[in-house]
Chains A and B, each alone.
Chain A
């Protein structure tokens, strides 16, 4: 994986402690060092509003208070975040993926995030960021 990606700050939003732990270890094992966790969407919004900038935010769909799709919408459209959004869910069903993509997510994966999924995402990240900068 390209070294310039490993200094990227990432925010992992998931209400399950176990999933947060596994995703954190998977990402650290893949070389990522700047990781922050949030237990729900409200925490994620507060972190983004506090001045922290995350290049990538992964968010679970099924969360209390605010689900992942609504969180993506809030962050991208209401708060103007320019982070890359990765939707995650225990269900990999197409309708849910479509909801995430319509909300502005850049990718969607079924749980868990694996080193292979992370590698695939980052292989495509350059084209995603180029597309985003043109769209803006």
Chain B
């Protein structure tokens, strides 16, 4: 018999996800990832999201470096990094990040350096928000798995003994 704790944690996870969907932070692709998770790959979503965080942090650092360089405007390299970030964000359902990347790319194509820097600030903020929320989500999921592993004694079985 599962404890109430497990149900409470599931409710917390659902509430957090609902919030992120409502805010447009995540889209349906995140649900698709969850559907790919099964017994043979029980940590698929968290593993994919960790790959995303590792890759994205490198890309964001590179973008900051490229855009802070006043001497040389390497808009092509900015475009390359942004295309990667757009693709990976689409793959995990990071909808708001994807949209900000599209706006940043438009500013880059217009050689609007100030617009790019502003958009990059927003992008970094969105990334931090998503990372914090998904870490919270996976932390609750870990607690749920642990709670579900605790089996409460069945009162009927205890009476028979």
Q: What is the interface of chain A, defined by CB distance below 8 A to chain B? A: 15-19, 21-22, 25-26, 29, 60, 62, 89-91, 110-112, 114-115
The 8 A-B pairs of least Cβ separation, nearest first, read A90-B87, A90-B86, A62-B83, A112-B91, A22-B91, A111-B90, A25-B36, A18-B51
Chain B, 51-76, CB within 8 A of any chain A CB: 51-52, 55
A42, chain B: closest CB distance, angstroms: 17
SS class, residues of chain B in contact with chain A = helix
Cβ–Cβ < 8 Å partners of A62 in chain B? 80, 83-84, 87
B120, chain A: closest CB distance, angstroms: 18
How far apart sit A110 and B44, CA to CA, in the bound complex (Å)?
23
The 10 sampled A-B contact pairs (Cβ below 8 Å) are A21-B51, A22-B48, A22-B91, A62-B84, A89-B87, A91-B83, A110-B90, A111-B90, A112-B29, A112-B90
* Contact (Cβ within 8 A) B88 A18: yes
Tell me, yes or no, whether B140 is within 8 Å of chain A by CB.
no
Tell me, yes or no, whether B20 is within 8 Å of chain A by CB.
no
How far apart sit A21 and B37, CA to CA, in the bound complex (Å)?
13
* Contact (Cβ within 8 A) A21 B32: no
* Contact (Cβ within 8 A) B86 A91: yes
How far apart sit A71 and B2, CA to CA, in the bound complex (Å)?
54
SS class, residues of chain A in contact with chain B = mixed
Chain B, 16-37, CB within 8 A of any chain A CB: 29, 32-33, 35-36
B109, chain A: closest CB distance, angstroms: 12
How far apart sit A89 and B83, CA to CA, in the bound complex (Å)?
9
* Contact (Cβ within 8 A) A19 B87: yes
Among B32, B36, B41, B92, contact of A18 (Cβ-Cβ < 8 Å): B92
B60, chain A: closest CB distance, angstroms: 15
Cβ–Cβ < 8 Å partners of B80 in chain A? 62
Chain B, 84-123, CB within 8 A of any chain A CB: 84, 86-88, 90-92
How far apart sit A25 and B87, CA to CA, in the bound complex (Å)?
16
Cβ–Cβ < 8 Å partners of A22 in chain B? 33, 36, 48, 91-92
Q: Which residue of B is nearest A60, CB measured? A: B87
Q: Which residue of A is nearest B41, CB measured? A: A25
* Contact (Cβ within 8 A) A16 B87: yes
Among B36, B55, B83, B90, contact of A26 (Cβ-Cβ < 8 Å): B36
